[in-house]
Each structure stands twice: as structure tokens, then as C-alpha cells.
Amino acid sequence: MTACIVGWSHLPFGKHEGEDAESMIVKVAADAVADAGLEPKDIDAVFLGHFNGGFEKQDFTASLVFQASDDFRFKPATRVENACATGSAAVHQGLTLIEAKKARRVLVVGVEKMTALPGKEIGETLLKASYLKEEAGIDGGFAGVFAQIAQAYFQRHGDQSDALARIAAKNHKNGVANPYAQMRKDLGYEFCRNPSEKNPFVAGPLKRTDCSLVSDGAAAIVLTDIETALGMNKAVAFRAAAHSSDFLPMSKRDILKFEGCTSAWQKAFAQSGLKLDDLSLVETHDCFTIAELIEYEAMGLVPEGQGARAIAEGWTQKDGKLPVNPSGGLKAKGHPIGATGVSMHIMASMQVRGEAGDMQVAGAKLAGIFNMGGAAVANYVSILEPLR
């Protein structure tokens, strides 16, 4: 253990009219520092996770955190970007700085303002996180990318429409209990399974209920070293923090295996001395339901090609043997790109401290997090537990 989360702040995800990235950054930055019992002058460094990519005209955003307080002035502030894993990339940069003893208290903020663009431009902006030399012509943006993955998975392992609908229904049911979720509605299996006017096919076999939501949002955490955390009101320790990156072109790998995900989990288990069975829950990257299905296999819950078994037999339900996405995941909570990974760390921290309210998994003590950028290109795993 090299660092702890000692404070956090989380805006509800959704469409924030009249807000931009700056205004959301200011809110969560100030509130997270206060939640940790600190003041801005106590912070040694700042990392901002912000994908942007054209969602907003303002770029070069790291120092916008300073708009929260003049006392941040002259502290090192760095923007971090790694596609949909941007938030976790910023968190892990904070951990690295603390482990190197370059800082004791680090503020990490994740933010994205997505809804100001028209839908077609949102898809084009997101698709820039794929390998454009080969994948630019895919219809439907990233939904089209994951539709191709779903079609290939169906060809290799059989039609998985039932499994995808069960995953969507599970996550929407869980999202009802999450006060930060963009969609707090239990849609039910039948709605998620059957195409309709309200749930049309978006790309290939993927329906609207198979795709995460376009969102605005921000979240922030304060990290400290272990010695400092021992004197704080709350402290959630990192048992592991692992990062594995894979080739950007899907053509250079077996895209149905998510091998970068497997590598990151293996590194995290090696660091922590834990195994998957030790975890109380996992918050995983369900940008599309097919991603969660493959992640069941990549994390080692089931063998390759048997992801459907985990959801069909109830293993990943909130009361199952390994609850997955008790927060509702990206599917219900929303997916503001730069904020997602930071949000996942907050959801997991609330769980292991027994402070997750109606989302709470009974007896949760160890929480795993998997956040990925692109189609399993940037892969981050964290494992959290309460310090005391």
C-alpha cells in the first residue's frame, strides 16, 4: 500500500445545462479538498483527467482547477488523457507521485462536458480514440466498433442477445439506488431484450440499452500517503494499481479476448497477493454490454466464451458471488469520459467503507475497479480496501 483516498466529491452525471468543464471542475475540486478536512494550500500537486477531443473549445485545462481557489496557484498541475480510461490514468499518476515521495497530498479531478455537441459530432469525437487508419470508416462511432466486436463474438460463441439484455437490466436495476446516476430507472429484462421504438438497434446487434449514456459530469478525490492518511477521518487504501496497454489497431490482436484487461488484472493480483475470489465487488467498464460480458472472461470469473454463464446464473448480481457494477455502471450512471475512472474509485471507496447507502454490497471489504480506454487498449485495475 502506497497511498489512500481520504476525500471525494461527485456531481450527478447527466446533462448539465449552463455548466462547462470549468464550472464542474471548480465544484468538485473545492468539495473534495474540504471533504478530506484540508484546504487548497495543503495540496501538493493536481492532476486533471479530461479527454475533451473537441467536446469543448477550451483545451489546456489543468490550471482551471485553480479557479476553485487562489491558494492552488504555483502548485504543479498536469492534465492527463488516455481515452475512456482518462480518469483512472489521472488517479494512477497521483499514486506514482506519492510513491516517488514527490508529494504527500494530491488532488485528482476528472471531468467531461459532452452534451454541447450534436449527436453525430459526439460520435466522431469519440471515434478519434480508435485507430483511424483502419477504423475511421466504421459506421456508428464507438457503438459501431463494439457492434463489430459483438458480431464477431456471436459468430465464435453463439448469439448472446439474452446475456447482453440481462447485463443491461442488472445495471439499470442497480442504478436506481445510485444518487449520482444519470438514469435511475429499472427497465427490466424484457424491455432490454426486445427491440422497440424506445429501444431500437443502434449498430449491429447492439440496441440503445446496450450502450452507455452521453453525459456531463465531474468527480474528484484527494490522495495522501499512508502515514498522513492514518490521521485522517476516512482512508481507503490501494492494495494494487496496475496498468497495461495494448496495440491500438484491433487488427493486431484477438479483439474478443481483451488481453490487456487480463494483463492488468494479473498484475494487480500479483501486487496485492489477492485473487478474484477475495474481492467483494467489481466496478467494471461497461461502455457497452458486450464489454462487460467479455470482461467477465478477461478478469478470470469464467473461461473464454462462457461470459453468459456469469450473468445467467446470477453471479454478478448485487447479491451474487461477485457483484459487478452495483453502482449501475456506465450503463446507468453515465459515461462522461474524463470523470468515469475517478467516479469508479469513489463508488468503490463508498462500498468498502460501508457508506454506499442503498447501493451497499453487504460486508464489502475489497473492491476491484477496471477502467479501459478504447477497445481494451488502455487498461487500469485498482483494488481498494479500508485502511482501518
The CA distance from 153 to 150, in Å, is: 5
Distances in Å between the alpha carbon of 3 and those of 92, 146, 228, 341?
Answer: 10, 35, 9, 17
- Distance of alpha carbon 194 from alpha carbon 209, whole angstroms: 10
Cβ(300)–Cβ(258) under 8 Å?
Answer: no
Active-site choice (50, 243, 285, 335):
335
The C-alpha angle with vertex 259 and arms to 255 and 264, in degrees rounded to 5, equals: 140
- Between CA 154 and CA 144 the distance in angstroms is 15
Question: What is the distance between the alpha carbons of residues 176 and 210, in angstroms, rounded to a whole number?
Answer: 17
The DSSP letter of residue 11 is P
Active-site residue, 335 included? yes
CA 127 to CA 276: how far, in whole Å? 32
Q: In this structure, are residues 220 and 109 in contact, taking their beta carbons and an 8 Å threshold?
A: yes
Please count the other Cβ atoms lying within 10 Å of the Cβ belonging to residue 162. 14
Q: Where are the alpha helices (DSSP H) in 187-288?
A: 189-193, 226-229, 259-272
Contacts of 254 (CB under 8 A, 6+ apart): none
Closest among 282, 146, 275, 135 to 203, alpha carbons compared: 146
Task: Point out the catalytic residue in the list 4, 84, 211, 287.
Answer: 84
The answer to whether residue 243 is catalytic is no
The H or E element containing residue 123 is helix 119-127
φ/ψ region of 328 (left if φ > 0, alpha if ψ in -120 to 50, else beta) reads left
Question: Closest Cα to residue 167, out of 293, 280, 282?
Answer: 293
Give the cell for residue 148: 463489430
Report the alpha-carbon distance of residue 209 to residue 326 in Å, rounded: 17
Q: Is 77:63 a contact under the CB 8 Å cutoff? A: yes
70: CB partners within 8 A, 6+ apart: none
Residues identified as active-site: 84, 335
